[in-house]
Structure 1
Amino acid sequence: MNRGYDQETIERVARIYRSNGDASKALGITLRSFSRLCTKYGIETPYAKRCRQLRSCRN
């Protein structure tokens, strides 16, 4: 069982999936672990991306 995820894998999953939950399930890790990995690598989570897009549409 591979528990080490590189930055490219996390970036790809964050880009492909629409929610943090779906992305974490695809990797087979918890939601919190996915969030921590995104923070560690400086990657915008799907949730943060959606919030940013909604804010830009509302302004």
Structure 2
Amino acid sequence: MSAPRIKVYGSGQEITVTADAPGLRLLGELLMDLASTGHDGGHHVHFEPGINGFLTTV
């Protein structure tokens, strides 16, 4: 299986997320983790290559 590919664009007050199928599944897992573990404010995820060890940009 290829590495998940996710890209996030920001402009003003809007963001756009593009991803391939593995990237969408990974993004869903990350969002479910954030929703289910009771994180306080301030938690964030890096999508830059090499950070978190598993994400690459499109």
Q: Same fold (TM over 0.5)?
A: no
Which structure has more strand as a fraction of its residues?
Answer: 2
TM-score by length of 1: 0.29
TM-score by length of 2: 0.30
**Larger RCO, structures 1/2 (Cα 8 Å, 6+ apart):** 2
Which structure has more helix as a fraction of its residues?
Answer: 1
